[in-house]
A and B are shown apart, each in its own frame.
Chain A
């Protein structure tokens, strides 16, 4: 009896199943079977990353939903990460060497002796992902769109190196033919610059210099129209190693290998998934649970844990950025150079790195991170004794305490660093510094209006050249935000701009930086490090100053089991 009962029941169920209406069958097929498939695959022990590695699909944490995918509109790093996969500039990054330029949309290039006239020879088989040939005319269109006065591209100033570009962008010249770009034939692009620019190939790696598809953009709008649907997956054509496949808002963006890419044989990945994970802890948890190949960043408080528990995955690499404190030099107390110097010399950057940040950063003694060719002048060092002396000379002491306010952001790490500064100024100078934390936009607005005394700040270079850190301190520059200016400093920058010899140019820029630091409108604190997690299955991913890893050289290889 006990043997027969289950069999009868089973037959009964089968009989009922056979009479299910079509909808129920569809439900069975669409929900139950995939559910079992997922459970079974999950129980097999393969992690999501194992499965993606087998399919050669790289899964990246990418911080935030991109502002868009139009290279001429966006301004952020998450956008840059995606755009670099689907578009390509004239030159591309070397996968492991800084300052080495590899052919991109241009097969080769040459310049005049004074680096003001450049000729780029485009790839003869270069084409857009829809099969349309990529010609010099696309570049002319791209430059014109980027600089069009009605278009309002935030990064238009990146093209101001081109002769006549600034005047056209500001509406002072109406005719684009006066801008120094021309195409003598479909595969040759000439660029005439307003001053010697030996680092132009470096600039062309920035997405503001990338070509955009004229034939697609004009299909969906005019040259000066923003916000048209041309970047949607069903419309877009791109010239990079990958093409846009799926864009699920706030969920993920998927790109797949572009079969029409001129160098498609080099591309090893079949695709990339960019996940907009804004919460650093969620991102780290996803990585530890084998859901990501790499994280966008790593929260400072997790670095020690990752270092102990996940050492093979932790990456701590030099990043082209500087953390510093701005002085409002128009403030009555901070007009005095001795006060600024005293505050600067009493900051122990190494202690902040060791005890607060713990991310392997380097104490900064200047604004420009040093490179093999550029020697940052050593002006600012930790010297509390001299700091006390300078403050006394400025008239402050036990009878007259220095009282200031430090403006900070609402981020947790900013709060902890601000407290460290506060403690050091109290300990070494007896100064009373109060901290004001403000949310991001209020913080920016107050900094822009010079409505502060001291403010924590940072700057990331757009390209590896000292000018990306030095130009902003010119009078009236929107990024200056200190009230400081100096004619001699600007004269040195102007002088460097006209120097043809790259080494001599850098020596002049070093002089300018030394002058800037001696006036001390800022306190350099540390040079950035990029802290993140990278799975060991990712190959061909090397440290690069701007983290612009060229995806076409990246590969995924399943780690061998011990």
Chain B
């Protein structure tokens, strides 16, 4: 097990390094630079600023300087925001983490029970109803759900705000928006997994032996039935934590998602590289955690 974890971690480092390298080159190939704006500045000022960030040097030199930063635990300064990238991430990550945890909790609490119920009541109105709602959840984009919740729900409930990030009540609507899509996917995946397990011989044997249906489901079926859902939850959690540009801008949340989009738009090379490293690392760890959970649930994988 330990060998597998170490091997996966080494693979993860290689993946993140490749991600960084590709991002590093691609963002520099885009037209423009961090210092171009509607008002053009003098050539000597632009040159001075390029020198400050080593952007006047070759890509190889720039990349080696950047690796030097990483070796010292830094990520360089953002040439647009004039602040250390680590500081920007430190300020933005807590909001994304809270939102991601709330979102995945909602997704699990809604998606998995709905999928199980749907599988147990296969081809009934409950099944059809649940799957129609799940399909709607997958199909309706967050930029439709978010303004609807803000405009129709927040205006009617006194302690909810249209947008803002001041107190825990402000987490509710963004977390629902973020969690609904994942809940819908989870419901469909769980239903599929459960249906497969419920048709297995050992479930039929348990029923034949007179085990109560509730025990058959909770003790025997769920353990195998939610394996596909667990495999999905890991990466989904990483995706939720890394934030959502749309949800953050609609609900005015100081999270990470907007940096991903704005850093690209602003040619904020260092911020984008920092965000890519963070997101890549999170996805590597989330996948690793999902794999470990799967091994724990399924003894056959231990070999």
Contacts and interface: CB of A to CB of B under 8 A. Distances in A.
Interface of A: 31, 34-35, 38-39, 42-43, 48, 65, 67-68, 70, 73, 75, 149-154, 156-157, 169-171, 226-227, 248-251, 275, 277-279, 281-282, 285-286, 288-289, 291, 439-442, 444-446, 448, 458, 477-479, 481
Given A444-B37, A479-B40, 10 more contacts: A42-B158, A149-B44, A150-B48, A227-B77, A227-B83, A278-B258, A285-B162, A285-B163, A286-B164, A477-B40
Contacts of B255: 250
A70 B254 CA distance: 22
Given A441-B265, A441-B266, A282 B167 contact: no
Contact of B162 (A38, A67, A291, A477): A291
Taking residues whose C-beta sits less than 8 angstroms from the other chain, chain B's interface range is 35 or more
Given A35-B168, A281-B147, A439-B265, A68 B37 contact: no
A279 B40 contact: no
Interface stretch (B28-36, B205-213, B221-229, B276-284): B28-36
Nearest to A73: B82
B97 interface: no
Nearest to A35: B168
B159 A249 contact: no
30 contacts: A31-B168, A34-B167, A38-B169, A42-B158, A48-B161, A68-B81, A68-B82, A149-B48, A170-B42, A248-B91, A249-B88, A249-B91, A250-B254, A250-B255, A275-B252, A278-B258, A282-B249, A285-B150, A285-B151, A285-B162, A286-B161, A286-B163, A289-B155, A291-B162, A440-B265, A441-B31, A444-B36, A444-B37, A477-B40, A479-B39
Interface string B13-56: 00000000000000000111101111111111100110010000
B165 A251 contact: yes
Contacts of B258: 250, 278
Nearest to B45: A152
A423 to B, nearest CB: 26
B36 A38 contact: no
A43 B30 CA distance: 52
Given A68-B82, A152-B48, A152-B52, A157 B42 contact: yes
Interface in B86-115: 87-88, 91-92, 95
Contacts of A478: 40-43
A192 B15 CA distance: 60
Interface string B186-206: 000000000000000000000
A277 B163 contact: yes
A203 B77 CA distance: 31
A229 B250 CA distance: 31
A173 B37 CA distance: 28
A460 to B, nearest CB: 8
Given A152-B49, A250-B258, A446-B31, A279 B91 contact: no
Contacts of B95: 251
B49 A249 contact: no
Contact of A38 (B82, B167, B265): B167
Contacts of A481: 40
Contacts of B41: 154, 157, 478
Contacts of B81: 65, 67-68
